[in-house]
Structure 1
Amino acid sequence: MNPLTAKAADTTALITGATAGIGAEFARQLAEQGHPVVLVARDAVRLMATAAELEKRYGARAEVIAADLTDDAGVAAVVARLTDPAQPVGILVNNAGIGLLHSFAENDIADEKKHLKLHVETAMELTHAALQGMLERKSGRIINVASVAAFLPRGTYSAAKAWLLSFSRWANMAYAPHGVNVTAVCPGFTHTEFHDRMGMDKTVTPRWMWLQAERVVREGLADNENGKAVSIPSKRYKVLAAAARVLPARLVAGPPRRAK
């Protein structure tokens, strides 16, 4: 075992939303690096299948927690794992997310509250839990999967991701000097199940705007390891985020969502 793999074997990574899309890719790349992984998602069957695949393919130890992170009991189960001193978690990836197809006024407010809880409250609570042991050990990595939408005016999804972006920037400034890197990874449109679950017509978005999850995760992990507070995968989205700071909102809002 080389030194890098040996070091990874001592650092457990916990990933939420780990059975599909960007979360599954984080689990795959971290397992490939040699990290034991804790996979969190709602679907127990898919969790077990994902864990078995990672163990078979990479020899990584894979633990599963079936939990709905829009539910207090589900969040509590993950908090308990993050704060278990006998099984320290050195990397936290807050990736679990949902999207709402319609406009704020059209959505059921119960769905909006779940959306806000998952993207903001749950991410905040899990980060707080993980920080306790990381600060004590003076070592840790936290990745909050935000979105380039955090820079754009796109309803409550943008608002929630903007909170996550601002929080991550501050947290990295506050805790990097104590050994804990915190990074908001802000991808643009990425080929995953996310938009399909929303029922969104993906043809509305030009082909050049779509990224692959492998690239998003690879760049996000590298930026986090290098201590960057914000990671925007690809030059095209770096340009878009920069333009959003100076151009009128209506020009950078992006294409409207449309049902299939």
Structure 2
Amino acid sequence: MKLFRFGPVGAEKPGVVDRNGTHRDLSAVIADIDPATIAAGLESRLANLDLTTLPEVPKGTRFGPCIAQPGNFLAIGLNYVEHAKETNAPLPEEPILFNKAPSCIVGPDDDIVLPRGSEKTDWEVELAFVIGKRAHYVSEADALSYVFGYCVCNDVSERAFQLERGGQWVKGKCAPSFGPIGPYLVTAEEIPDPQKLPLWLEVNGERVQNSDTSDMIFSIRTIVSYVSQFVVLMPGDLITTGTPPGVGLGMKPERYLKRGDTVRLSVEGLGTQTQRVV
């Protein structure tokens, strides 16, 4: 099932794509796509619904973030072999875990807003996933059963704030607009193997990231199990899983986003994002 949210900022409605590829309005059936509806069994509630009877969403309508107000927005750093190499970082022995603020989340085609004083805002195409049920001390064998669905995330990062200002990475990860997610939240049964997904990112039409999730150091299965040893994961929690090589920080010379740039990115089967830098 391919879910989405649509409409003006702050007034998004839930939607679903039917078997014919038509975008349908779900707002008469559920209030939103959020932690509460996921916890209440969103998938089973929609399983026997004839989606073709729902109103169509007008073409050109804005996509919002594919999930509303996740309780946690967690991220894994340096999780692709070739990305660690390009940044001259040793391969981590355990997943590097950090927070992104839920307040940084925006729609997949909303603008990236450069923070005040930014000189090193960077791009990162990532596969993200949403937790479907309470997860604590989960085994790797059972881990994927806790995933509700998958989406595209651009883990926008201000490298000077992240790496040159002391303290933790979150300083460079949490500015408003630094978490575009969507357009779709694709339920887990449609993604049989999340470790075989091509993903790419372009800046001004130039493809700078082009890889697939098989290059991950720590798989989705490992991430769910590992994080659940430290955090009680709840329905609707969002975790983004690291980026492949091709970021601006790894280029020689380094290259960063500037006003007027356009960023496009995609993970196979999960849709495409397009952002303008302002």
Shared fold (TM-score, shorter chain, > 0.5)? no
TM-score normalized by structure 1?
A: 0.31
In proportion to residue count, which structure has more helix? 1
Q: Specify which structure has the bigger relative contact order, considering alpha-carbon pairs within 8 angstroms and separated by 6 or more residues.
A: 2
Q: TM-score, normalised by structure 2?
A: 0.30
